[in-house]
């Protein structure tokens, strides 16, 4: 792919070592952009100074939500090496989302090359404090100037970068999770497996409700019976029950997390029995009561592995173990973050250097 590069003439001040970065507030000097036009395909790949984009108010994305996004990170390792974690998986998933949303396919190599190229240009923006990273947000929007309901014939693919702080500023810490019994996020046949804004728009109301009740995240139940466990806001969920690792199977309404896939692979390679299946909320409540629910954790790019100390379902508030961080949860966190930041061997071949 031929990428035309226009460097900024007014570089911004980068955050200093020790600065609080938070998440998603700060953006780097450059962004990648590429257009799609029906009959012409993807064209005009370019890296330009980060800044506003201009769209007609009738651009289709504003009205019918034809949009796809991805999320991954770049990590600064020893000797200032910059790493990505399984970016090929993001490229594959982007196309699974694209297909569902009638957005044209982006060739996988093109997607990965775009991400590498813009990260490379802004590599000095990858922060170096413990646990920090450069969050990468590739996305596609429908840009036809048209109010009819149909797939757009033109699109914009953009990759922006945001230096982000450690998810757990004072070390890994357990969270409380609200099992939502009123609203649902997705149904089979819908777009739950796609990474698209609409799924998040549908989730906000329950998120607000959970926050108001003192819980940090929502755990969704299936959209039909409200009986089976699906996933957390932006994380997949896993349980250790009687020594086995159990997680909801990918059924079409759950987002197929790359962290989920990686953690299950690590668990299997460590000799754990792993079950991907339906898990009812009753099974969970019963396992919490009889003591067989040993650990609960979420998996996602942002937190990597997030220990769950407390689960609430209607009138039941379940404390997991002693409410602290489970032993396997901690081991999985250490293994995956060790690989991502280049501190551990990578027997799986997941870490990709940006050179
Ligand atoms: C992105 C996302 C996840 C986690 O996926 P990762 O690839 O592990 O980051 C889980 N659930 C939802 C709804 C998501 O959008």
Please state, in angstroms and rounded to a whole number, the distance separating the CA atoms of residues 84 and 97. 21
Q: Are residues 106 and 20 in the same domain?
A: yes
CATH number of residue 14's parent domain? 3.30.470.10
Q: Residue 283 — pLDDT band, cuts 50, 70, 90?
A: very high
What is the structure's pLDDT at 178?
A: 95
φ and ψ of 333, to 5 deg: -60, -50
Q: Are residues 206 and 230 in the same domain?
A: yes
Does any domain span residue 353?
A: no
Does any domain span residue 170?
A: no
Contacts by residues 218-222 (CB-CB < 8 Å, ≥ 24 positions apart): 218/177, 218/178, 218/179, 218/180, 219/177, 219/178, 219/179, 219/180, 219/311, 220/180, 220/184, 220/185, 220/186, 221/179, 221/180, 221/181, 221/184, 221/281, 222/184, 222/187, 222/253
- Per-residue pLDDT, averaged over 326-348, amounts to 96
| CB of 138 closer than 6 angstroms to any ligand 1 atom | no
Mean pLDDT of the chain: 96
What is the structure's pLDDT at 168?
A: 77
Q: Is the pTM of this model over 0.95?
A: yes
| Cα 35 to averaged position of ligand 1 atoms, centre (Å) | 26
Which residue range(s) make up the domain with 234? 175-340
Does any domain span residue 311?
A: yes
- Say how far residue 179 (Cα) sits from the centre of its chain: 20
| Cα 275 to averaged position of ligand 1 atoms, centre (Å) | 19
Does any domain span residue 347?
A: no
Choose one of 164, 192, 225: the last residue of a domain.
164
Q: Are residues 209 and 82 in the same domain?
A: no
Q: Residue 343 — pLDDT band, cuts 50, 70, 90?
A: very high
Q: Are residues 25 and 121 in the same domain?
A: yes
Q: Are residues 100 and 72 in the same domain?
A: yes
257-269, pLDDT tens digit by residue? 999 999 999 999 9
Choose one of 164, 185, 218: the last residue of a domain.
164
Does any domain span residue 169?
A: no
133-177, pLDDT tens digit by residue? 999 999 999 999 999 999 999 999 999 999 999 887 767 889 999
Q: Are residues 133 and 254 in the same domain?
A: no
| Residue closest by Cα to atom 12 of ligand 1 | 234
Q: Are residues 78 and 182 in the same domain?
A: no
Which ligand 1 atom minimizes the distance to the CA of 235? 10
- Per-residue pLDDT, averaged over 104-110, amounts to 98
Please state, in angstroms and rounded to a whole number, the distance separating the CA atoms of residues 236 and 308. 12
Q: Are residues 147 and 199 in the same domain?
A: no
| Cα 317 to averaged position of ligand 1 atoms, centre (Å) | 25
Q: Are residues 211 and 256 in the same domain?
A: yes
Q: What is the largest CA-CA distance in the chain?
A: 64
What radius of gyration, in Å, describes the C-alpha atoms of the chain?
21
| CB of 257 closer than 6 angstroms to any ligand 1 atom | yes
| CB of 90 closer than 6 angstroms to any ligand 1 atom | no
Does any domain span residue 94?
A: yes
CATH number of residue 282's parent domain? 3.20.10.10
Number of neighbours of residue 323 by Cβ within 10 angstroms: 12
What is the structure's pLDDT at 171?
A: 74
For residue 119, give the nearest of 72, 166, 157 by alpha carbon. Answer: 72
Which of 235, 250, 253, 302 should be mutated for ligand 1, with most atoms under 8 A from CB? Answer: 235
- Per-residue pLDDT, averaged over 173-191, amounts to 94
Q: Which two tokens stand for residue 139?
A: 């996305």
Q: Using an 8 Å Cβ cutoff, are 233 and 189 in contact?
A: no
Choose one of 129, 145, 164: the last residue of a domain.
164
232-275, pLDDT tens digit by residue? 989 999 999 999 999 999 999 999 999 999 999 999 999 999 99
18-63, pLDDT tens digit by residue? 999 999 999 999 999 999 999 999 999 999 999 999 999 999 999 9
Q: Which two tokens stand for residue 277?
A: 């299946």
Q: Are residues 180 and 85 in the same domain?
A: no
| CB of 259 closer than 6 angstroms to any ligand 1 atom | yes
Counted domains in the chain: 2
| Residue closest by Cα to atom 1 of ligand 1 | 234
The H or E element spanning position 260 is: helix 258-269
């Amino acid at each position: 792919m031929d990428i035309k590069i226009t460097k900024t003439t007014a570089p911004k001040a980068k955050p200093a070592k020790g600065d609080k970065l938070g998440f998603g507030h700060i953006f780097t000097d450059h962004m990648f952009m590429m257009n799609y036009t029906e009959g012409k395909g993807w064209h005009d790949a370019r890296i330009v100074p980060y800044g506003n984009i201009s769209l007609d108010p009738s651009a289709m994305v504003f009205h019918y939500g034809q949009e796809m996004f991805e999320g991954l990170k770049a990590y600064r390792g020893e000797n200032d090496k910059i790493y990505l974690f399984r970016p090929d998986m993001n490229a594959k998933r982007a196309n699974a989302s694209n297909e569902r949303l009638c957005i044209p396919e982006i060739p996988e190599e093109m997607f990965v090359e775009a991400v590498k190229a813009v990260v490379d240009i802004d590599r000095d923006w990858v922060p170096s404090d413990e646990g920090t990273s450069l969050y990468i947000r590739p996305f596609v929007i429908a840009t036809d100037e048209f109010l009819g309901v149909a797939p757009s014939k033109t699109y914009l693919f953009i990759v922006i970068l945001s230096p982000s702080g450690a998810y757990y500023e004072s070390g890994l810490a357990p969270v409380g999770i609200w099992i939502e019994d009123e609203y649902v996020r997705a149904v089979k046949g819908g777009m739950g497996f796609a990474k698209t804004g609409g799924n998040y728009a549908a989730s906000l109301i329950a998120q607000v409700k959970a926050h108001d009740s003192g819980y940090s995240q929502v755990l969704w139940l299936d959209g039909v019976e409200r009986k089976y466990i699906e996933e957390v806001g932006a994380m997949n969920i896993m349980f250790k029950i009687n020594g086995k690792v159990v997680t909801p199977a990918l059924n079409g309404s759950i987002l197929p997390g790359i962290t989920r896939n990686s953690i299950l692979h690590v668990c299997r390679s460590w000799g754990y029995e792993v079950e991907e299946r339906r898990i009812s909320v009753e099974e969970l409540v019963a396992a919490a009561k009889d003591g067989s629910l040993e650990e609960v954790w979420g998996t996602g790019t942002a937190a990597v592995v997030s220990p769950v100390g407390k689960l609430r379902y209607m009138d039941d508030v379940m404390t997991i173990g002693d409410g602290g961080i489970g032993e396997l949860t901690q081991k999985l966190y250490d293994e995956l973050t060790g690989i991502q930041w280049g501190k551990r061997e990578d027997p799986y071949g997941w870490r990709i250097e940006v050179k």
